Structure 1
Amino acid sequence: MNSDASELLHLTHRTDLGIFVGRWGYQPTAAALPAVYQELKQQALAAGCPFWLQDIRRRSFNDPEVTQWLLTEFFPEMGHLLGGRLSVAYLVGPTLMEAILAGPGFVGPAAYDGQPFVIAFFGDEGDAISWLNQQQSATAANG
């Protein structure tokens, strides 16, 4: 990953927790995202981990076009490539959380039943990890 991308997104596979963590360092420009998401994809596939914690607390808004691409292309593809259901817990700050929950396209995790991915939003990292643990347990019980 180039230095700009590594400052934007720090990726870690937490094998002790069975999760793949992405910590976003700042609000990216739309132009920066393709290379960063390509790196995320490569490292996630190398880790083989479908349980992601994405810490976006340093981000102030979500681009609707990027969100649409994530929901319709990137997340479904990653679920299939990882050979199971992708579970993404977003850790967000209060202002962005309010904007996401109030957004016209917001749906809760239950709306993703039958999809190759599920996403949920959290203000507390412990809650996000607990949810990912629940997703791991559900996958183990169904697999």
Structure 2
Amino acid sequence: MHAPTCSLAYRPDLGSLIVRWPDDAPFPTLQADFEAILAVAEQNGTARWLLDVRRRAHLDPQLGDWTTRIFFPHAAARLAPQALRLSVLCSPARMAVYAASAEQQSYLAHGIAHQAYQMHLVCDEGKAMEWLLE
């Protein structure tokens, strides 16, 4: 397994995994990052993840499709019976791209719809954590 390009910090006081990407990365690298995230989540018994993507400017449609349709359902099954909750911390620029792209809206609609996991997108870290801990 390669070293992840994101920082991974389990917060036992919050029962949550905090994940931050400092920059963009190629799709295969991000896939490996998500596998590393799942491994750390399993080690710590948590299904609550804060995913900070504010510094990742590139929106790869392949990643959106893979995470919402393949990886997140897989992770939810592995972490069951806990419910996987994903609070995605986005920049305002990323939210604008989501709003302007029909393709991105399709992935988000699928990801936010009733799934084996719950996903929430927000620009404010306090609100991201508040939702995650509900």
| TM-score, normalised relative to structure 1 | 0.81
**Post-superposition offset of 1:15:** 1.0
Task: Give the corresponding residue for 1:12.
Answer: 9
Alpha-carbon distance in structure 2 between the residues aligned to 1:42 and 1:108: 24
- Structure 2, unmatched stretches of 5+, are none
**Residues 43-58 of structure 1 correspond to what in structure 2 (within 5 A)?**
43-58=40-55
Task: Give the corresponding residue for 2:113.
Answer: 112
Is contact 2:27-2:62 (8 Å) kept?
A: no
Alpha-carbon distance in structure 2 between the residues aligned to 1:108 and 1:38: 21
Please tell me the root mean square deviation across aligned C-alpha atoms, in Å.
Answer: 1.9
* Percent identity between the two aligned chains: 29
Alpha-carbon distance in structure 2 between the residues aligned to 1:9 and 1:101: 25
Note the alpha carbon deviations across 1:91-123, whole angstroms, 9 max, x for none.
1111111112333213297x532x211111111
Q: How many residues align?
A: 129
| TM-score, normalised relative to structure 2 | 0.86
Note the alpha carbon deviations across 1:44-92, whole angstroms, 9 max, x for none.
1111111110011111022111111111111011111111321101111
Is contact 2:2-2:32 (8 Å) kept?
A: no
Task: Give the corresponding residue for 1:95.
Answer: 93
**Residues 10-49 of structure 1 correspond to what in structure 2 (within 5 A)?**
10-49=7-46
Partner of 2:41, secondary structure, is helix
Alpha-carbon distance in structure 2 between the residues aligned to 1:82 and 1:89: 16
- Structure 1, unmatched stretches of 5+, are 135-143
